[in-house]
Chains A and B, each alone.
Chain A
Amino acid sequence: MERREFIVAQLSFRNAVRDALAQEMRRDERVIVLGEDVAIGGVFKTTAGLLDEFGSRRVWDTPICEQAIAGAAMGAAIAGLRPIAEIMFSDFYATCWDQVVNEIAKTRYMTGGQVTIPLVLRGANGFGSLGFGSQHGQACENWVMTVPGLKIVSPATPAEMKGLLAAAIQDPDPVLVFEHKALYGAVEEVPDGDLVIPLGRARTVRPGRDVTLVGLSITVRTCEEAAERLDAQGISAEVIDLRTLVPLDAQAVLESVARTHRLVIAEENPGQLGWGASLSSIVVEEAFGELAGPPVRVSGGNIPYPVASVLEAEVAVTPDRVVRAVQQVLGISAPTATAVPQPAAIN
């Protein structure tokens, strides 16, 4: 982590996005921003002030056309610029999935390395009790993880957001940055000045001895809260923030599990082929002998997301579910509920 100045300031997650964009736009005039309503500041106010500071040659409003947005970013990246395209809600990747998967991810490889594609696609992601429903509320990181050629960043705090987004912009390859919409209002003290956090290095949020809890984005906080409750029960939980799914810091998890011998993974997306399944398989294949029991995943329900508060709460990944999963792997009490809610009548 590179920090040049040490004046501490209060920074929100939302402003961390804007600060990272501005930081990199000041550093490199090739960095440009495009997307729907970005000139006026964006629907989540994550591009506020950029037009005033950098002008209309650096900040471009687009029609509602995700395919054209992703494709324009790709072409400009190939031609030597550093475009950052806002995809307003990550659910909308489905509307430009071809550009993301078949063009952005594959073209460097299939041209034998004739092009590089240094671009960032970024936008609001995740569920998080905001009532956005099925088409604006999914956690979509694991969609992208099925496709080789795309880096995936999903920060957990304002400082993390600023530093990881800056690194994503500096990265020479395509990076998708997921901004949890329930975190936009989160505030923490962040050192003033430029901040860059390298991609591919997990962060140990809290050390522990008895179990490893792995989270990403908002579930890092979920794991921290679970760890606090477990602490009161005399259970010492280590919390790891993966930060990036690609590159994946598998070694950080393997090293932690070698000490704790137990693993609980908290992921917000549906459990069907979630990123936790990949991580779990790596640990089982490469550290089976270290495990005192099977890894347990706490994931979102295998359903499109509901809206009513009580329904949202039913499928949310909560500290309580993580605590129960830990109790399960420790054999402390017979699990009364499975980690993933799956009513027998439905599933």
Chain B
Amino acid sequence: MTQETVATRRFVEGEGLNVELFQRLVFTRRFLEKVDTLYRQGRVRGPAHLGLGQEAIAVGVGSLLRPGDRSIGTYRGHAHALARGASPESMLRELLGREGGICAGKGGSMHITSVEHGYYGSYAIVGAHLTIANGLAWADQIQRNDAVTVCFFGDGTVNIGAFHEAVTLAAVWKLPVVFVCENNQYMEYTPISAMIPTARPAADKAAAYGMTSIVVDGNDLTEVRRVIGAAIEDARCGRGPALVEADTYRLKGHSAADAGKYRPAEEVERWRARDPLLVYREQLIAAELLDDSAADQMWTDARDELNALTEVVLKAPPPDASGAWTDLWSDGSSSWRN
């Protein structure tokens, strides 16, 4: 990583290592793999954008947030919802078009939301939710709540106007918001490097907003927790917003329908060697907090749990059709005239 990874210098091996976080990484990976499989079986309604390979960012930030903190993300948001405690079963129900879906069957893969867990939604218009994140943080600022909002977005977002407007307003109002760019190296099918005028999509723009340029190794959970943790605590203490760029890699295509064949094989292999699950596993083993058999057991347990959940969900009926007409307005109705 580059010199901006200030974190590296202060890194103390073993600090904050936690087996439970590895378990969360494994479960998240298994969940995304399950969705991939279900998609290939033609069982997922609509597209499914998977964050395979990017899990350490969602899991790491999720472990830093307190009850009352808010997070918000993109259509690639399954890991971010799980990281706040959203129900995997309700998510599967949503993805598979069954009753009891987390968005009642009206959101699907791209709009997974769990407000009760502080995850304020997955938005599928690139950049739009950065402006909403400001509003969440603004409400906490006005009400003097001791809360922070974290907003996840992709590298391609930095080129859309809403990004600029949102980061500007956050800086001008000194909002308690942390913008986390998951730089997975690809816009959709095109390398982000071909679509930005400087080397780094987000970090190189930080100075224009009066912010420090922060880059973190997004595949290293320990680093994610330390660097983004510092930004979150700064924001919580009223020191204003931050723009963090987390380097990572999308191990699969843009969506489950995309084989990602435009990526050079050696590039994929290089990043596979830096798989966030391998990185954290090695750290835990080196610290003698985990051994291979315990790690393997976690993989098996997560697979079994998700297989069992999927079996239950696939047997569930679809939602009642009348649900199509509810919850446009806050009185539960969708009527526009008398």
Interface residues of A (CB under 8 A from B): 32, 57, 60, 62-63, 65-81, 83, 98-99, 102-103, 107-116, 118, 148-149, 172-173, 200, 246-251, 282
Given contacts A71-B166, A75-B133, 5 further A-B contacts (CB under 8 A): A65-B169, A72-B134, A103-B132, A107-B121, A247-B338
Chain B residues with CB under 8 Å of A77's CB are 135
Q: Is B140 an interface residue (CB 8 A)?
A: yes
Mask, B302-338, CB within 8 Å of A = 1, is 0000000000000000000000001111111011111
Cβ-defined contact, A67 with B162, below 8 A = yes
Q: CA separation between A103 and B172, bound complex, in Å? A: 23
Q: CA separation between A76 and B175, bound complex, in Å? A: 12
Cβ-defined contact, B135 with A75, below 8 A = yes
Mask, B95-110, CB within 8 Å of A = 1, is 0000001111111000
Chain A residues with CB under 8 Å of B125's CB are 98, 102-103
Using a CB-CB cutoff of 8 Å, which residues 42-82 of chain B contact chain A? 70
Q: CA separation between A78 and B49, bound complex, in Å? A: 25
Chain B residues with CB under 8 Å of A72's CB are 131-132, 134-135, 138, 169
A-B contact pairs, 22 of them (CB 8 A): A32-B142, A68-B168, A71-B165, A72-B135, A75-B120, A76-B138, A78-B132, A79-B70, A79-B138, A80-B139, A99-B132, A110-B107, A111-B106, A111-B115, A111-B121, A112-B103, A113-B104, A114-B115, A148-B336, A149-B328, A247-B337, A248-B337
Q: Is B31 an interface residue (CB 8 A)?
A: no
Q: A152's closest neighbor in chain B, by CB? A: B336
Kindly provide the distance from the CB of B145 to the nearest chain A CB, expressed in whole angstroms. 9
Q: CA separation between A246 and B329, bound complex, in Å? A: 12
Which of B107, B136, B140 is within 8 Å of A112, CB to CB? B107
Chain A residues with CB under 8 Å of B329's CB are 108, 149, 172-173
Cβ-defined contact, B111 with A79, below 8 A = no
Chain A residues with CB under 8 Å of B101's CB are 112
Chain B residues with CB under 8 Å of A63's CB are 165, 168-169, 172
Q: CA separation between A72 and B138, bound complex, in Å? A: 7
Kindly provide the distance from the CB of B233 to the nearest chain A CB, expressed in whole angstroms. 21
With contacts defined as CB atoms under 8 Å apart, how many contacts are there between chain A and chain B in the complex?
165
Kindly provide the distance from the CB of B106 to the nearest chain A CB, expressed in whole angstroms. 5
Interface residues of B (CB under 8 A from A): 70, 101-107, 111, 113-116, 120-121, 123, 125, 128-140, 142-143, 161-162, 165-166, 168-169, 172-173, 326-332, 334-338
Kindly provide the distance from the CB of A109 to the nearest chain B CB, expressed in whole angstroms. 5
Most chain B C-beta atoms within 10 Å of own C-beta, residue among A83, A112, A116, A249: A112
Most chain A C-beta atoms within 10 Å of own C-beta, residue among B129, B130, B137, B330: B330
Q: CA separation between A105 and B173, bound complex, in Å? A: 26
Which of A70, A113, A247 is within 8 Å of B335, CB to CB? A247
Q: A112's closest neighbor in chain B, by CB? A: B104
Cβ-defined contact, A76 with B139, below 8 A = yes
Kindly provide the distance from the CB of B137 to the nearest chain A CB, expressed in whole angstroms. 7
Cβ-defined contact, A67 with B103, below 8 A = no
Kindly provide the distance from the CB of A72 to the nearest chain B CB, expressed in whole angstroms. 4
